[in-house]
């Protein structure tokens, strides 16, 4: 019966540690659920642990579930297009860039062909005449460096994706100033990682991968 005052340290006994993890995880889920109910918060929680192959997943019936249900009603292809915010965004950018590229390509080819043809025709007409002096083309056709089409944007596709997802200012601050984190304590022992993420849903839900 609860004797110790909870020595706040790593539990070295594997069995005891696992037991504690399961109990406390259960308590955590309950707490999170209560917070959701009491404060009117739509919630989505995923808890992945080394002790269970499947993670615990919580989500409410309002936002996420409704969206997921919509996705399920979609034809497979449409769904896969819409599934991920970033995907549709990048698709749009690629499509747009490809259209521009196609158009520019066509223009370039037409102008260059016209030039080449005129030049050859001139040469053919002057076959018996002395060869003309080396001729510098007065106005070379506008040229788009194809390989750099995507680089012309000051921002990369992913930058723009992040923008579109309204990556909040705090994230930038946080990435740049990890030492400023008030909550940063040296708990943790290098085995597992947990992310607790809470965001209001009139903003886009945001998250990303941190690791190379």
Partner DNA sequence: GGGGCTATGTATAATGA
Partner DNA sequence: TTCATTATACATAGCCC
Which residues inside 158-177 make contact with DNA, applying CB under 7 A?
none
- Distance in angstroms (rounded) separating the CA atoms of residues 176 and 138: 51
Among 117, 132, 152, 163, binds its own copies (CB under 8 A): 117
Q: Which of 149, 153, 172 is nearest to 162 (CA)?
A: 172
Q: Please, which residue, 113 or 132, has the CB nearer to its own copies?
A: 113
Q: Give the 3-state secondary structure of residue 83.
A: coil
Site string for DNA, 7-36 (x = CB under 7 A): -------xxx-xxx-xxx-xxx-xx--x--
- 66 interacts with DNA by CB under 7 A: no
Q: Is 74 in the site for its own copies (CB under 8 A)?
A: no
CA distance 123 to 128: 9
Q: Which does 5 bind (CB under 5 to 8 A by kind): DNA, its own copies, none?
A: DNA
In this complex, which beta carbon is closest to its own copies, that of residue 3 or of residue 181?
181
The distance of Cα 118 from the centroid of its chain, to the nearest Å, equals: 50
Residues 119-138 close enough to bind its own copies by CB under 8 A: 120-121, 124
From the list 204, 203, 171, 197, the residue with the least C-alpha distance to 88 is 204
Chosen from its own copies, DNA, none, partner binding at 165 (C-beta under 5 to 8 Å by type):
its own copies
The reply to whether 42 sits near its own copies by the rule CB under 8 A is: yes
Other Cβ atoms closer than 10 A to 57: 10
Footprint of DNA on 92-121 (CB under 7 A)? none
Residue 164, φ and ψ in degrees, nearest 5: -60, -30
At residue 63, what are phi and psi to the nearest 5 degrees?
A: -65, -70
- Residues forming the site for DNA (CB under 7 A): 1-6, 14-16, 18-20, 22-24, 26-28, 30-31, 34, 38
């Amino acid at each position: 019966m609860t004797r110790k005052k909870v020595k706040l340290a790593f539990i070295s006994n594997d069995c005891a540690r696992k037991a504690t993890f399961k109990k406390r995880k259960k308590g955590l889920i309950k707490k999170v659920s209560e917070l959701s109910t009491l404060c009117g918060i739509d919630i989505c929680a995923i808890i992945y642990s080394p002790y269970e192959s499947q993670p615990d997943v919580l989500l409410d019936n309002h936002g996420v579930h409704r969206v997921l249900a919509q996705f399920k009603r979609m034809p497979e292809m449409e769904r896969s297009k819409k599934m991920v915010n970033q995907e549709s965004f990048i698709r749009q950018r690629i499509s747009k860039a490809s259209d521009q590229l196609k158009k520019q390509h066509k223009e370039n080819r037409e102008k260059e062909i016209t030039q080449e043809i005129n030049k050859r025709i001139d040469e053919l007409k002057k076959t018996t005449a002395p060869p003309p002096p080396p001729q510098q083309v007065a106005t070379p056709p506008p040229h788009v460096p194809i390989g750099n089409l995507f680089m012309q944007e000051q921002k990369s596709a992913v930058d723009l994706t992040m923008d579109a997802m309204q990556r909040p200012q705090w994230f930038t601050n946080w990435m740049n100033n990890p030492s400023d984190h008030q909550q940063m304590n040296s708990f943790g022992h290098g085995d597992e990682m947990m992310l607790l993420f809470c965001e209001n849903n009139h903003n886009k839900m945001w998250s990303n991968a941190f690791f190379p």
